[in-house]
A and B are shown apart, each in its own frame.
Chain A
Amino acid sequence: MRVLVVEDEKKTASFVRKALQTEGFAVDMMANGEDALLAAASTPFDAIVLDIMLPGRDGLSVLRQLRERKNTTPVLLLSARGEVNERVEGLNCGADDYLPKPFELAELIARVRALTRRGGENKPIVVRLADLTLDTVTRKAQRGGTEIELTAREYRLLEFLMRSAGRLCGRMMILEKVWDYDFDPGTNLVDVYVRRLREKIDADFEPKLLHTVRGSGYVLKEAP
């Protein structure tokens, strides 16, 4: 997986690169829009992380140019302005995801990973992981043949986690997809819900499926 990171702030660029490399991505760095366009034209990237505030040509303009050239590489926009209008504007320009600064590294990695796996994603009606099954039509969950009672929110959380099984899900991402929040509520809502969900799907069963990734998110997978 090869990712292009376009960010002019050196320190941010440096830790983003480090984190993505640790996660096994090959990372190319560019510090301005023109170079980014050249790089994107010559190399097929699996995803582009694009800061909006760039010297010269800004991120949104780079994005528009990319899409005009029929380049469909998934793009994650980064922005220090972080306001709803900008998110909408970015998505309208053809961005696939948007992350306001300051962001959590885990969140960034989770999103880049989700972007690189996008496409050809089919949504099965019954989702399975080990002996846990979730029927998305009847909205019923079972583990080892035992039916599990879920509230509406717990169901949505479990469905999201199961559909992203094996991938790290950051808190902001969960809030966005499960709660429909586009702001940081400053509460431990996600953690509390995950704890409750864990009691229902993991407490009486082996192996444990719902894992906490230190400091930054959750992942649903078989192996610890």
Chain B
Amino acid sequence: MTIRRRLTLWYAGILILSLLVIGVGTYQEISEQLRHSHRREPTAHALNETGEMVFRVGLPAVVLGLLGGWWLTRRALAPVAKLTEVVEKIHERNLREPLIRTGNGDELDRLTEVFNAMTARLDDSFNRIREFTLHASHELKTPLTVLCGEAETELRDESLTPAQHERATSQLDEFHRLARIVDGLTLLAKADAGQITLAVEPIRLDELVRDNFADAQILAEPHSVKVEWVNCEEISVLGDRHRLRQLLLNLADNAIKYNQPQGQVTMNLRRVDEFAEFSIANSGAGIPPEILPRVFERFFRGDGAHGSAVDGCGLGLSIAQWIVSAHGGTIQIASTVSRMTTVTVRLPLGAEPKPA
């Protein structure tokens, strides 16, 4: 029940109660007067007269009061409704934009003020987290450079025994993995802080997809996975070449890694309304519906992937999601367990390249 309805009901109750009080009072007054004038049937007469008064004056007053009350609560709550509407539009990115205050110093104005202060504090903590991640990833790079460099220097030492050599190689591999994670983190932290500008230009998406298809075939070979395509229409979009390549490779790499031997990967690029739609399907084990919405989260891995042989930095899909949204597109994932997982990316179509 809304506050408005509740208040009106209370108000109606109070009005009816006061009507009763007035009725009882009037009745006593009238019967007293009648008793003084020695009339015979004071009770019945008094009742009649009271009833008439209540009906003729009291009821219209109550109805008027109710309507007035309804209107008043509506008027009083209107700013709240407006506030709700504005607050609904608040999200993580626009916390800095304050709600507009009426400035008349009333309770709601004060509420707005307090609310603005709260969002400002929230914004500060969001920023601090972002900055922390950014600084952390920068700070990690210097020691990582030293570690990688020293491991490599060690590897160049001809006097190493095979066992030492193997240990140094495995160390170096882990350092490189760590470096990739830190790279991914830096990229996402920078993206969060709005510090990355895309180098946007008209791109023939089909050419990127063809390149990616060739790479995917090569990458899939050791896993005995077959890569095929349904369609590769000629489509241009406005985008950042490097980031789009990264997106496509990320998706292809995932489709291959989370596949099963003798599995299949199918790519499809087509035009759907005002969008270029790229979808990539794999015949892997699938993703259970309860964790499907979480796969774009950073470092999220399904139970199946934990401790399995799949090697990755855990940021691939988060990065893919960022690239897509930075291009004004959408990315979706659908999965049927033990049958098929499909990732669908939609990017807004760019201007057609002008014929020369």
A9, A153, A189: the one contacting B142 at CB < 8 Å is A9
Quick check: B153 and A15 within 8 Å, CB to CB?
yes
Given known pairs A82-B186, A183-B242, A215-B169, the reply for A19 and B146 (CB within 8 Å) is: no
Quick check: A11 and B150 within 8 Å, CB to CB?
yes
Quick check: A102 and B138 within 8 Å, CB to CB?
no
- What does the 1/0 interface line of A54-98 toward B look like (CB < 8 Å)? 000000000000000000000000001111110010000000000
The smallest beta-carbon distance between B323 and chain A, in angstroms, is 11
Task: Tell me which residues across on chain A come within 8 A of B197, comparing CB atoms.
Answer: 85
Quick check: A153 and B215 within 8 Å, CB to CB?
yes
Bound together, the chains give a CA A102 to CA B140 distance in angstroms of 9
Quick check: B249 and A12 within 8 Å, CB to CB?
no
Given known pairs A9-B142, A12-B149, A192-B218, the reply for A180 and B242 (CB within 8 Å) is: yes
A180, A193, A216: the one contacting B241 at CB < 8 Å is A180
Bound together, the chains give a CA A182 to CA B175 distance in angstroms of 20
Quick check: B155 and A181 within 8 Å, CB to CB?
no
A interface size (C-beta, 8 A): 42
Q: In this assembly, does A118 line the interface, its C-beta being within 8 Å of a C-beta of chain B? A: no
Residue of A nearest to B149 (CB): A15
Task: Tell me which residues across on chain A come within 8 A of B174, comparing CB atoms.
Answer: none
Bound together, the chains give a CA A188 to CA B155 distance in angstroms of 20
Quick check: B146 and A189 within 8 Å, CB to CB?
no
Bound together, the chains give a CA A179 to CA B242 distance in angstroms of 10
Given known pairs A19-B153, A82-B186, A84-B199, the reply for A104 and B148 (CB within 8 Å) is: yes
SS class of chain B's interface: helix, strand, loop or mixed?
A: helix
B148, B199, B218: the one contacting A189 at CB < 8 Å is B218
The smallest beta-carbon distance between B235 and chain A, in angstroms, is 19
A179, A181, A192: the one contacting B221 at CB < 8 Å is A192
Quick check: B186 and A83 within 8 Å, CB to CB?
yes
The smallest beta-carbon distance between A74 and chain B, in angstroms, is 22
Q: In this assembly, does A43 line the interface, its C-beta being within 8 Å of a C-beta of chain B? A: no
Task: Tell me which residues across on chain A come within 8 A of B147, comparing CB atoms.
Answer: 102
Could you list 11 examples of A-B contacts with CB < 8 Å? A9-B145, A15-B150, A19-B149, A80-B141, A102-B149, A104-B148, A105-B156, A153-B211, A179-B245, A183-B242, A186-B180
Bound together, the chains give a CA A85 to CA B197 distance in angstroms of 7
Quick check: B138 and A81 within 8 Å, CB to CB?
yes
Quick check: A82 and B152 within 8 Å, CB to CB?
no
Bound together, the chains give a CA A151 to CA B217 distance in angstroms of 12
- What does the 1/0 interface line of B149-175 toward A look like (CB < 8 Å)? 110110110000000000001001001
Given known pairs A186-B313, A192-B219, the reply for A82 and B141 (CB within 8 Å) is: yes
Task: Tell me which residues across on chain B come within 8 A of A88, comparing CB atoms.
Answer: 199
Quick check: B152 and A215 within 8 Å, CB to CB?
yes
Give the interface size bracket for B toward A. 35 or more
Quick check: B145 and A12 within 8 Å, CB to CB?
yes
Quick check: A105 and B149 within 8 Å, CB to CB?
yes
Task: Tell me which residues across on chain A come within 8 A of B243, comparing CB atoms.
Answer: 84
Bound together, the chains give a CA A103 to CA B144 distance in angstroms of 9
The smallest beta-carbon distance between B296 and chain A, in angstroms, is 18
Bound together, the chains give a CA A103 to CA B147 distance in angstroms of 10
Residue of A nearest to B190 (CB): A83
The smallest beta-carbon distance between A77 and chain B, in angstroms, is 14
Q: In this assembly, does B183 line the interface, its C-beta being within 8 Å of a C-beta of chain A? A: yes
Within 337-356 of B, Cβ neighbours of A (below 8 Å) are at none
- What does the 1/0 interface line of B297-339 toward A look like (CB < 8 Å)? 0000000000000001100000000000000000000000000
Task: Tell me which residues across on chain A come within 8 A of B180, comparing CB atoms.
Answer: 184, 186
The smallest beta-carbon distance between B201 and chain A, in angstroms, is 13
The smallest beta-carbon distance between A150 and chain B, in angstroms, is 12
The smallest beta-carbon distance between A12 and chain B, in angstroms, is 5
Q: In this assembly, does A139 line the interface, its C-beta being within 8 Å of a C-beta of chain B? A: no
Quick check: A22 and B156 within 8 Å, CB to CB?
yes
- What does the 1/0 interface line of A8-37 toward B look like (CB < 8 Å)? 010110011011001000000000000000
Quick check: A153 and B214 within 8 Å, CB to CB?
yes
Q: In this assembly, does B136 line the interface, its C-beta being within 8 Å of a C-beta of chain A? A: no
Q: Tell me which of A85, A88, A105 has the highest count of chain B C-beta atoms within 10 A of its own C-beta.
A: A105
- What does the 1/0 interface line of B174-197 toward A look like (CB < 8 Å)? 010101100100110010000111
The smallest beta-carbon distance between A11 and chain B, in angstroms, is 4
Quick check: A182 and B242 within 8 Å, CB to CB?
yes
Residue of A nearest to B315 (CB): A186
Within 236-273 of B, Cβ neighbours of A (below 8 Å) are at 240-243, 245-246, 249, 253
Task: Tell me which residues across on chain B come within 8 A of A12, comparing CB atoms.
Answer: 142, 145-146, 149
- What does the 1/0 interface line of B209-226 toward A look like (CB < 8 Å)? 001001100110110000
Bound together, the chains give a CA A182 to CA B148 distance in angstroms of 20
Bound together, the chains give a CA A11 to CA B186 distance in angstroms of 23
Q: In this assembly, does A101 line the interface, its C-beta being within 8 Å of a C-beta of chain B? A: yes
